[in-house]
Homo-oligomer: A and B are copies of this chain.
């Protein structure tokens, strides 16, 4: 098989699942806007991001399934794991909040993804490097789009500015988790397969600060402040269970059926 390394397949699978779950769960959240956006063009844009993310998720799950073998499929990984098995960062599963909160989360996530994928290009794992390469173009657009919107809303009306400050307050303590490596991340780094997320924190902070500044929003310095964690190792918020109940219902109700 494609397994090119001598650290455990489990760890590699977990490494990939973290990447995949992040994109699937955020895609699921963003897709809640589809048909309900504030402007038609932006309804289309957020759905487009949702589509890009689910595309990334599929590539990653397919790869993880091929490594795991035993007839596992992308759908089995997405639809038949329980909430303690999902490895997405908590920020991706938080409720959308208003449009401002949604796009601020997108900025935080996309800047992280951009830095991550840029490094992942160097992965010894050719499949991961290829997925990163393909995804990087999409993510670059996500960063641009969400930056523009954060600036627009931060430096828009009094109301929009206040809403963005509130969104910042709500989301900030969920951004630290990106940079605290899970055991499978540490292992993947040691094998030159994974990305050292701790090294991404400073460039992430700089890029985010730059956008917040232009958005006339309070620039957060306290990247080392207390942060929510747990998602990467399956300890989630109470929100994920409800996401899964809805998302997985069909596969759970009709086991083994093809769609």
A-to-B contact residues, CB < 8 Å: 82, 242, 244-246, 248-249, 252-253, 255
Q: Is the interface of A mostly helix, strand, loop or mixed?
A: helix
Do B245 and A249 have beta carbons less than 8 Å apart?
yes
List the B side residues contacting A253 at CB < 8 Å. 82, 248, 252
- Complex formed: what's the CA distance from A245 to B245 in Å? 6
List the B side residues contacting A242 at CB < 8 Å. 246
List the B side residues contacting A248 at CB < 8 Å. 249, 253
Closest to A241 in B: B249
Closest to A250 in B: B245
- Cβ distance A76 to chain B, nearest Cβ, rounded Å: 13
- Cβ distance A36 to chain B, nearest Cβ, rounded Å: 14
List the B side residues contacting A249 at CB < 8 Å. 244-245, 248-249, 252
- Cβ distance A81 to chain B, nearest Cβ, rounded Å: 10
List the B side residues contacting A82 at CB < 8 Å. 253
Query: Could you list some 8 contacts between A and B, CB below 8 A?
Result: A82-B253, A244-B249, A245-B245, A245-B249, A246-B246, A248-B249, A248-B253, A249-B249
- Cβ distance A254 to chain B, nearest Cβ, rounded Å: 9
List the B side residues contacting A245 at CB < 8 Å. 245-246, 249
Closest to A245 in B: B249
- Complex formed: what's the CA distance from A242 to B246 in Å? 7
- Complex formed: what's the CA distance from A244 to B242 in Å? 12
List the B side residues contacting A246 at CB < 8 Å. 242, 245-246
- Complex formed: what's the CA distance from A242 to B245 in Å? 9
Interface pairs A-B: 9 shortest CB-CB? A252-B252, A245-B249, A245-B246, A252-B253, A245-B245, A242-B246, A82-B253, A249-B252, A249-B249
